[in-house]
Amino acid sequence: MLTEIDFNSGQIFDALKEAGVDDRTLIVWCSDNGPETLQGPNIMYGAQGDSGPFRSEFPSGWEGAIRTAALMRWPGRIQAGRSSNEIFSILDFYRTFAHIVGAADRVPTDRPIDSIDQADFILGNQQKSNRESVMYFHSGELLAIKWRNFKAHLKVRVTADGAVRQAG
Stated pTM of the model: 0.76
Confidence of residue 168 (pLDDT cuts 50, 70, 90): very low
Beta partners for 123? Answer: none
CA distance 128 to 62: 23
Confidence of residue 35 (pLDDT cuts 50, 70, 90): low
CA 166 to chain centre: 19
pLDDT tens, residue by residue, 70-84: 889 999 999 999 999
> Taking 60 as the threshold, does the pLDDT of residue 44 lie above it?
no
